Amino acid sequence: MSTDVPTPRTATSTDDWSTQESPTVRTPPQSLDAEQAVLGTLMSSTGATLRYFAETLDTGITAEEYYRPAHATIHRAILALHQAGADAVDVLTVTDELTRRGELVKVGGPLYLHACVQAVPTPANGPDYAEIVRAKAYRRMAIAAAQQILQYAYSEEGDEGDVRSMVEQHLTAIVAGMPGLTEAPPRVGGNLYLDFVAELEEIQNGRQVGIPYGLSDLDVVTSGMRPGNVTVIAAQSGVGKSTLALNAGVAAAKSGAQVMFSSLEMSATELMQKIAAAEGLIPLHHLTRQGGLSGEGWKTIERLGRELFSTLPMRVHRPDSAALHEIESAARACARGDGLDVLVVDYLQLVEVETANRNSNREQAVAAVSRGLKNLSVHLDCHVIALSQVNDDGKLRESRAIKNDASVVIKIERPEMDEAESSRAGEVDLVIEKNRFGPRATLTVGAQLHYSLFKDMAA
């Protein structure tokens, strides 16, 4: 929820608006005492009063709802400690976190943090203080929206339809952002039952429920990709986990799903080469060396541009850094735009996340990434495909948290890699080690890796 209140633009015409006296400058609605009390509650709830910490956060308060920027900074530090599983969130740990971020001085130092704790009448009322802060922020948002509507109306830009659309958008945002509008969860006998029956009919009639992976047996066993869930594709290096994930992303996009492929390993050009190879049945090495593409190959590339790439609802994201928050930010931008149905992250062990504990080990860091992607799938109502490395012993690296957060875990095994003269050359086993939507199974598919392609065996 934005707390910035835009200043009305100065009119240059001689209409009534420009000749009116400037309105008295008013201080936007805010309660610094309540803001201090919220932060103090969060930094003093320990032991028997620890539940007040959770109850205060359960109000939905966010850093953006504080009027004073320093308070927003402190809230973010507290939240980072909490999300990282810190043993304690108090003045000392928050001071350390703000110091690590280089933000301690600008918030007033340790003395100000102690002042916030001392400003709390009673931690039991933390949720009430938070609701005061949220209510003030809501009023500021309403003021900002009203001023933007006023500015647009006076500008005489657009037509009546544009004005109506803008007003509707702002009013919708204001109503949706109103504090205290959280509804009780639905009863099983109402819409939940009707939705359940509707999906059951889809399943029983053989229609696809989830978004397709693009491999028939895999779609049958898992019922496809579903919003709010995570699929982990695991394999040793060079086995084809990126290829399988890219094939699945393209298949999902061809079905109409909005897809974002975030790669920490390959450039956008490399991903485009792989898609073109798979969709045009062009040997990948023809696309990566000088003079490798024939005249027919160029015709295929032109056809793919016209018939596939121009309409495929798929975005390729190459992060500037390996930070999780950068992937999350790009995913939210997609969700705000055309929407986001499937997010592919290649791969888990390369993603970095801020941890409150400097001494945290690699397994804890990967667990934080896994949990972050799971939360993102729920918040954005999309399906996440997360790729993971496998150790030499065939087990997922830092596997405990990854398996816990995933709904489906698929391990790729290529028999021919262990046996030079294997009778199963060109075959790959997809070992489904976890499946919340069906049985565990081992599925065999064809591997045409020179095309960057996995195919059904029947094909």
SS3 for the chain, per residue? Answer: CCCCCCCCCCCCCCCHHHHCCCCCCCCCCCCHHHHHHHHHHHHHCCHHHHHHHHHHHCCCCCHHHCCCHHHHHHHHHHHHHHHCCCCCCCHHHHHHHHHHHCCCHHHCHHHHHHHHHHCCCCHHHHHHHHHHHHHHHHHHHHHHHHHHHHHHHHHCCCCHHHHHHHHHHHHHHHHHCCCCCCCCCCCCCCHHHHHHHHHHHHHHCCCCCCECCCCHHHHHHHCCECCCCEEEEEECCCCCHHHHHHHHHHHHHHCCCCEEEEECCCCHHHHHHHHHHHHHCCCHHHHHCCCCCCHHHHHHHHHHHHHHHCCCCEEEECCCCCEHHHHHHHHHHHHHCCCCCEEEEECHHHCECCCCCCCCCHHHHHHHHHHHHHHHHHHCCCEEEEEEEECCCCCECCHHHHHHHCCEEEEEECHHHCCCCCCCCCEEEEEEEEECCCCCEEEEEEEEHHHCEEEECCC
Q: Could you tell me if 307 and 174 lie in one domain? A: no
CB neighbours of residue 426 within 10 Å: 13
User: Mean pLDDT highest for which of 171-175, 248-252, 329-333?
Assistant: 248-252
Q: What local confidence, expressed as pLDDT, does residue 432 receive?
A: 94
Q: Are 39 and 75 in contact (CB under 8 A)?
A: yes
Percent of the chain with pLDDT over 70: 86
- Whether the bond into 138 is cis, omega within 30 of 0: no
Q: What local confidence, expressed as pLDDT, does residue 16 receive?
A: 38
Domain tally for the chain?
2
Domain-located, residue 188 = no
- Residues 121, 124, 128: CA angle, nearest 5 degrees: 80
In the predicted model, is pLDDT for residue 185 greater than 90? no
Domain-located, residue 444 = yes
In the predicted model, is pLDDT for residue 385 greater than 90? yes
What residue type is 291 in one-letter code? G
Residue 134's CATH number = 1.10.860.10
Residue 354: pLDDT band (50, 70, 90) is: low
Domain-located, residue 2 = yes
Domain-located, residue 63 = yes
Residue 178: pLDDT band (50, 70, 90) is: low
Q: Are 74 and 98 in contact (CB under 8 A)?
A: yes
Mean pLDDT within 72-89: 87
Q: From its phi and psi, is residue 415 left (phi > 0), alpha (psi between -120 and 50) or beta?
A: alpha
Cα–Cα distance, 247 to 448 (Å, whole number): 12
* 231 bridge partner residues: 385, 408
Cα–Cα distance, 411 to 390 (Å, whole number): 9
Give the alpha-carbon dihedral of 5, 6, 10, 14, to 10 degrees: -70
Q: What local confidence, expressed as pLDDT, does residue 457 receive?
A: 83
Q: Could you tell me if 162 and 245 lie in one domain? A: no
Domain-located, residue 21 = no
Residue 12: pLDDT band (50, 70, 90) is: very low
- Residues 28, 30, 36: CA angle, nearest 5 degrees: 150
Q: Are 116 and 43 in contact (CB under 8 A)?
A: yes
Domain-located, residue 76 = yes
Give per-residue pLDDT as tens, 123-161: 889 999 999 999 999 888 888 888 888 888 888 777 776
Q: Are 57 and 10 in contact (CB under 8 A)?
A: no
Residue 254: pLDDT band (50, 70, 90) is: very high
Domain-located, residue 200 = no
Residue 459: pLDDT band (50, 70, 90) is: low
Mean pLDDT within 230-242: 89
In the predicted model, is pLDDT for residue 423 greater than 50? yes
Q: Could you tell me if 139 and 213 lie in one domain? A: no
Give per-residue pLDDT as tens, 434-446: 999 889 999 999 9
Q: Could you tell me if 159 and 217 lie in one domain? A: no
The predicted model scores a pTM of: 0.61
Q: From its phi and psi, is residue 87 left (phi > 0), alpha (psi between -120 and 50) or beta?
A: alpha
Burial class (CB in 10 A: 0-12, 13-18, 19+), 56: buried
Q: Could you tell me if 138 and 225 lie in one domain? A: no
- Tokens 């400097």 sit on residue: 358
Domain-located, residue 258 = yes
CB neighbours of residue 80 within 10 Å: 19
User: Mean pLDDT highest for which of 249-253, 263-267, 282-286?
Assistant: 249-253
Q: Could you tell me if 114 and 257 lie in one domain? A: no
Q: Could you tell me if 138 and 234 lie in one domain? A: no
Q: What local confidence, expressed as pLDDT, does residue 174 receive?
A: 67
Single residue among 181, 197, 222 that ends a domain in this structure? 181
Q: What local confidence, expressed as pLDDT, does residue 332 receive?
A: 83
Q: What local confidence, expressed as pLDDT, does residue 73 receive?
A: 94
Q: 186 or 248: which carries more pLDDT confidence?
A: 248
Q: Which tokens is 174 given?
A: 């204001």
In the predicted model, is pLDDT for residue 165 greater than 80? no
Query: Positive or negative, the Cα torsion across 371, 246, 457, 392?
Result: negative
User: Mean pLDDT highest for which of 166-170, 311-315, 395-399?
Assistant: 311-315
Q: Could you tell me if 244 and 129 lie in one domain? A: no
Cα–Cα distance, 228 to 212 (Å, whole number): 15
Q: Could you tell me if 296 and 428 lie in one domain? A: yes
Instruction: Look over the chain and give the mean of its residue pLDDT values, rounded to a whole number.
Output: 83
Cα separation values, 221 from 189, 197, 224, 250, Å: 29, 20, 8, 20
Q: What local confidence, expressed as pLDDT, does residue 15 receive?
A: 38
Domain holding 135, by residue range, is: 1-16+27-181
Residue 275: pLDDT band (50, 70, 90) is: very high
Residue 260's CATH number = 3.40.50.300
- Tokens 């049945």 sit on residue: 281
What is the maximum alpha-carbon separation in the chain?
Answer: 89
Q: Could you tell me if 168 and 272 lie in one domain? A: no
Percent of the chain with pLDDT over 90: 37
Q: Could you tell me if 163 and 234 lie in one domain? A: no
Single residue among 181, 197, 219 that ends a domain in this structure? 181
Q: What local confidence, expressed as pLDDT, does residue 83 receive?
A: 81
In the predicted model, is pLDDT for residue 248 greater than 90? yes
Q: Are 428 and 240 in contact (CB under 8 A)?
A: yes
Lowest-confidence pick of 35-49, 62-76, 125-139, 191-205: 191-205
Q: What local confidence, expressed as pLDDT, does residue 208 receive?
A: 65
Give per-residue pLDDT as tens, 284-334: 989 888 888 888 989 999 999 999 998 999 999 888 877 787 888 888 888
Lowest-confidence pick of 99-108, 205-214, 430-439: 205-214
Q: Roughly how many angstroms between the first and final C-alpha of the chain, as a whole number? A: 51
Q: What local confidence, expressed as pLDDT, does residue 37 receive?
A: 94
Q: What local confidence, expressed as pLDDT, does residue 171 receive?
A: 72
Single residue among 161, 181, 201 that ends a domain in this structure? 181
Q: Could you tell me if 236 and 127 lie in one domain? A: no
Cα–Cα distance, 254 to 196 (Å, whole number): 27
